[in-house]
Structure 1
């Protein structure tokens, strides 16, 4: 089968928008408004009418207090407004995205297949979203300047980490509506989306707080983020930072962000498969001579990454077997290309309709995220008759609605990176159980399951823990809640294989400041959210001790509160796993990853994916992926509604006394 010719993609917006976004908007005083926020495009009359109508409604009733279906429509129209005002290029000139003349497509294979470098997703802007391009912004660049050295350290980021990040002894706060698989999943996806380059020559020296600090070294020295070359005078005041990964939802964490890397990960046989190390009944990721896993992105490695990278390598290979049966004369490249398309689309679907409704367990989000994929007509009708509307993403979902860039070339953004700082999700220990009986096997401190030790419990002739056991255990263990004072302390003194020792709480604060991410109040103001005027307002008026601690740490100046700290401190919408502030960036960028992508928004059909591959995506979910490769999990999964919410415990796990993610290690 020859690759299908792509439909054209557009950098305009013609008023076709979908179903995800909004938050309470209160009227700001004139001095709080930014007249400089100019729209990237002008939505159609119907969209403007919807935006205006819901703004009036939200003055009385916030979206999350509306009935679920109405709340989902509210979110859809706020997302259109966010697309108008909160998508900005990381370059001063759109010419940086290349053109068909400057970057010609010399291999027609990539008309119907993903290029691992990320090139040619858009045939008009072939460099858009590819590895090495800058991250964009959700705010105009004049509001995201490089800070002075004084501002960078004000207040001391290590002090902020000690006060508001450090998990107190025995103070693990579990997120009881989620499981540990949900925590692993988001890191697995983040490793597909973005990765900053660090400077080998320039460092940040963080002064230790006065009065003593338990830091293990004399200084806390961190590599700076490497800025891109100055291509325009505006880059001096607001540097651009390159994304070393592709920005597309293209599975680069397992396939790599370059064609050269992808070739090294493939099987030596012409079968289109990824190479795996087969050991008896199990398959493992191969290792290099230093013991590093051979996969697309292997930094920040722990057992959660081992499980998911292996799972989706197995899924890729299963898709290859399906395609080989249907097209026995195809080359290995043809099978690989289609299997990759299918596997990537399946991951995007799982994230959209399963992971997101688990972490944002609100009725409006249940409707909205399903509609993102299937439209308001729903899954059953879409599967039965196809798209009811050719172009409307609200009626028939984003896949197949046509790619749009909404006035700004596609990229992920620095603010998107900021709101996905979720180290609090990590527990201190992981309790492992038998997948068939539920019996407790061991409880292992998480530091003993990182980097070179990530797969220690899984290997050996008779492993202590099988892949099925580990996945069941992740299904019933809780992650940490995304809130203040819930960073595991091993991450606040983490020595990585490159020899650096980091406090990730300090790193998270510094990276936002260094890259010009606005502080909390400005962040909210630029999103047209209400802005707290006092520390008591920030915490919702119900936590005077936290308000007092924040005021003291930030010298009484609420404008200095960091975006991350403010987001951890604000009241959370019922059912939400993270803040309303982070959510507003999420609702904009979550759909943009789908809507900008030619292979999802435009070439969404059986010609591109093959009839077999298209059905594979449409008919599969995370339960199917897990059960396909680890059938011992199927009975438990059948009793569990959402794979990323706590699974139904087997009898042996209940007898043990449930999950003890913060208990002392037991052997």
Structure 2
């Protein structure tokens, strides 16, 4: 079946769907550096340069991406509001985050709020809604069956990471974005002989925003029901009303937790759902991290209460939330990212995102050396800049964070004190209302046991044929049964995410001419299967499928195609935020809170609440890489588990 070539759309844009071009322009010196590295990269790619030079290469690549790959989801910037029509009447939010994201920007008060559209990394004229037949070309269920299904006994581990890294990214994604669901459905035709659980595969479509401009007919906008800011909305909620329900009634500024003996857990509602800011897609990994950072919020409250005994519970809550959110942003920037992108240039670059090339020690000693340079002194405190486009997360950013392959089939649990193997449990048995089951009969694991186990279990590699099969027949509490592989393909198509080759062209990356070239020239069976599935037309390959199939840079946990979006948007989340790039320091965070962030990390958070983990943490490196195993764990010969084997 024929399908339009999206690269042709890029060459012949339909002016009816155009969006304003970014107004960001690099300086003359920046343009010179960009040009110089382009010449260098024709001979030596950035990842083969010495680490420090490679980091500078990436810094200037990011500047080029800011120029060409930031686009508003609206045809007019008027949607973001203004300070005249929407003045800040509650002065509380000058120094506190509003749960719906409003007034992070005082000039554009609705920017980044819940209910605002996701933006684009590509011009709207090349991200238009496809024709109906394109949704099923080729059949998304067939693509899922061929290139996503994990073969029996075929779990492919990511041996440079631990399972905590997989839980962390879902924990963060739930802070950043969530599309609204439409009542309309796709009816996915099943390939011949498909053994689906029902006669038809019906999947809800994404709900488009109202048509605010004629261009929205051809290129619909889609609302983000979460806030786009790094504001811990997965813990605190994306509305003030939700936040109030989660706070302790004791007036101490804390979050409510359910104390059970020596441990604290997230409370449940009558239906068994966890009471937290975002509780969809729930499993034991989210149970651990939501609980951990609720505990961290409460610990920050205790420290603030000791330092400022006259403060109200509201004042303590607001500052504790600011501190907790900034700490999570720092952990993601300088710990999680260098773990999943384990390359010297990335380690240098992500540290520089937070501390600048000045480095952590000098910055702590002297403060910011440069008031405005993010390269010299880091993004926090460098000044807010939207790079010519109102801040939002983007549809392409959502696309590259489709990382279901990280989920294993089973989790092996160990005693955190002795290292002894306790049990191995299929992951589906620890989802939704069963997420707390490891902590009750018959196993009675502690939270520390589970965290230690996550520290030594591997996640799955983000590659072809590594989706856990329980996610390809997932029944959720609302009664829907989904193949998440099919869902991932359909979501990209319906939201106008360009297919793989067009995606790379729009990022100014080289484009494979053949399927053999796409797979790196050394996986003939995969190349042949892709060619057959996509009717020999490489232009039809979906962005996700191509990203899974392409060879990865040494040390990388995902493709360079996805990485280009990542390096642009990862820094943008910091640079756009008034509470990070703007009012950064003791005046906003208090001296206690500011030191909590600057001196703290994931090891500190874990050790603070679970001191029995400190020994193994001290003996380990990056907390998202495999931890040092205790002696009895090393003796365990895992069977059908992703635990490291001896």
Residues of 2 paired with 1:338 and 1:252: CA distance? 15
- Alpha-carbon spacing, 1:31–1:221, altered in 2? closer, same or farther (3 Å): closer
Residues of 2 paired with 1:595 and 1:282: CA distance? 38
Residues of 2 paired with 1:171 and 1:536: CA distance? 23
Residues of 2 paired with 1:52 and 1:474: CA distance? 44
1:166 aligns with 2:149: yes
* SS of structure 2 residue aligned to 1:199: strand
Pairwise CA distance, 1:464: 2.1
Residues of 1 paired with 2:328 and 2:163: CA distance? 18
Instruction: Verify the 8 A CA contact 1:203 1:223 in the aligned structure 2.
Output: yes
Partner of residue 57 from structure 2, selected from 74, 80, 88: 74
Pairwise CA distance, 1:31: 8.8
Match of 2:543 in 1: 563
Pairwise CA distance, 1:40: 3.1
Residues of 2 paired with 1:444 and 1:642: CA distance? 26
Partner of residue 370 from structure 1, selected from 335, 351, 361: 351
- Alpha-carbon spacing, 1:100–1:537, altered in 2? closer, same or farther (3 Å): same
Pairwise CA distance, 1:657: 2.6
Instruction: Verify the 8 A CA contact 1:118 1:129 in the aligned structure 2.
Output: yes
Pairwise CA distance, 1:459: 3.4
Match of 1:516 in 2: 496
Match of 2:221 in 1: 240
Instruction: Verify the 8 A CA contact 1:129 1:247 in the aligned structure 2.
Output: yes
Match of 1:596 in 2: 576
Match of 1:415 in 2: 396
Query: 5 Å matches for 1:361-400?
Result: 361-400=342-381
Partner of residue 528 from structure 1, selected from 498, 508, 526: 508
Partner of residue 209 from structure 1, selected from 169, 191, 197: 191
Match of 1:476 in 2: 456
- In the superposition, the TM-score normalised over structure 1's length comes to 0.93
Query: 5 Å matches for 1:51-66?
Result: 51-66=34-49
Tell me how many residue pairs correspond in the alignment: 631
Query: 5 Å matches for 1:256-275?
Result: 256-275=237-256
CA distances 1:518-569 after superposition (whole Å, capped 9, x unpaired): 0000000000000111111111111111110000000000000000000000
- In the superposition, the TM-score normalised over structure 2's length comes to 0.96
Instruction: Verify the 8 A CA contact 1:478 1:661 in the aligned structure 2.
Output: no
Pairwise CA distance, 1:280: 1.2
| Structure 1: runs of 5 or more not aligned | 1-29
Match of 1:611 in 2: 591
Instruction: Verify the 8 A CA contact 2:22 2:389 in the aligned structure 1.
Output: no
Match of 2:16 in 1: none
Match of 1:655 in 2: 635
Pairwise CA distance, 1:103: 1.6
Instruction: Verify the 8 A CA contact 1:477 1:660 in the aligned structure 2.
Output: no
1:287 aligns with 2:268: yes
Instruction: Verify the 8 A CA contact 1:441 1:464 in the aligned structure 2.
Output: no
Pairwise CA distance, 1:38: 5.4
Residues of 1 paired with 2:30 and 2:22: CA distance? 14
1:541 aligns with 2:521: yes
- Alpha-carbon spacing, 1:589–1:34, altered in 2? closer, same or farther (3 Å): farther
Match of 1:429 in 2: 410
Instruction: Verify the 8 A CA contact 1:32 1:525 in the aligned structure 2.
Output: no
Instruction: Verify the 8 A CA contact 1:475 1:646 in the aligned structure 2.
Output: yes
Pairwise CA distance, 1:658: 5.7
Match of 1:191 in 2: 174
Aligned residues: CA RMSD: 1.4
Residues of 1 paired with 2:275 and 2:266: CA distance? 6
Residues of 1 paired with 2:188 and 2:512: CA distance? 29
Partner of residue 153 from structure 1, selected from 125, 132, 136: 136
Match of 1:7 in 2: none
Match of 2:334 in 1: 353
Match of 1:459 in 2: 440
Residues of 2 paired with 1:80 and 1:243: CA distance? 26
1:440 aligns with 2:421: yes
Pairwise CA distance, 1:176: 0.2
Pairwise CA distance, 1:66: 0.1
Match of 2:559 in 1: 579
Match of 1:403 in 2: 384
1:640 aligns with 2:623: no
Match of 1:88 in 2: 71
Pairwise CA distance, 1:49: 1.2
* SS of structure 2 residue aligned to 1:288: coil
Instruction: Verify the 8 A CA contact 2:459 2:642 in the aligned structure 1.
Output: no
CA distances 1:364-409 after superposition (whole Å, capped 9, x unpaired): 0010000000000100000000001000000000000001001110
1:342 aligns with 2:323: yes
Q: Runs of 4 or more off by more than 6 Å in structure 1? A: 30-33
- Alpha-carbon spacing, 1:40–1:658, altered in 2? closer, same or farther (3 Å): farther
